[in-house]
Amino acid sequence: MNGHELLQQQINETFTVSERLIKLLDEKDLSWKPSETNNWMTTGQLLFHLSQSCGIPIRGFITGQWAMPAHSDMNDKKTEHKLPPAEKLQTVTTVAEALSMLVADRNVALEALNLCSEEDLSSKKVSAPWDPTPVNLGKRLLGMIDHFNQHKAQLFYYLKLQGKPVNTMHLYGK
């Protein structure tokens, strides 16, 4: 298995599981969040972020063209402290919208992956808007898939806390 095949497989598996998790939600669930304190996102905000947390940054690493949120200046080391509170984050308004955005982000990831070579994946060094350290492109792309997986797991726990009948197989799921 080469680098492209590995990344494609990881992208497809993670997006498929995420889609199944999203389909367990109803519109009424989108405004739920674990607590009113500690700056939690609503489920709808989490779904919006999930749908932009893999393909869009993968395209950025491969093409060098970044569409960063307007609220951030990633060259500023104090950006983390300037991020908006959760209530100001964008949200999806329907489960169908979340699913549509998820499909679009998967397509962005897979299309962008086709723009680089195996050699690029193994030897090209790229930096991130939030980290100027040059890192192997393949490792950066795996990092974005990992980022997506973290939010997939966050969604799993949101579902569990909402009393949805989920178990470990839903998280890793076949």
The CATH number linked to 148 is: 1.20.120.450
* Tens of pLDDT, residues 93-134: 999 999 999 999 999 999 999 999 999 999 999 999 989 999
The dihedrals phi and psi of 125, each to the nearest 5 degrees, come to -105, 135
Is the residue at 122 inside a domain? yes
Asked if 145 and 18 touch (Cβ cutoff 8 Å), the reply is: no
- Tell how far CA 16 is from the center of its chain: 13
Average pLDDT for the chain? 90
DSSP code of residue 127 = E
Is the residue at 79 inside a domain? no
Count the neighbouring beta carbons within 10 Å of the beta carbon of residue 120. Answer: 16
Angle at which helix 55-63 crosses helix 95-113, to 10 degrees, equals: 30
Amino acid at 51: S
Is the residue at 39 inside a domain? yes
Burial of 124 per CB tally in 10 Å (0-12, 13-18, 19+): middle
Tell me which of 60 and 39 has the higher pLDDT.
Answer: 60
Q: What is the number of domains present in the chain?
A: 1
Is the residue at 111 inside a domain? yes
Asked if 45 and 52 touch (Cβ cutoff 8 Å), the reply is: no
State the pLDDT confidence band at 71, using cuts at 50, 70 and 90. very low
Is the residue at 77 inside a domain? no
Is the residue at 43 inside a domain? yes
DSSP code of residue 29 = G
* Residue range of the domain that includes 51: 3-66+87-172
Is the residue at 54 inside a domain? yes
Is the residue at 72 inside a domain? no
* Tens of pLDDT, residues 99-109: 999 999 999 99
State the pLDDT confidence band at 73, using cuts at 50, 70 and 90. low
pLDDT at 156 over 50: yes
pTM over 0.85: yes
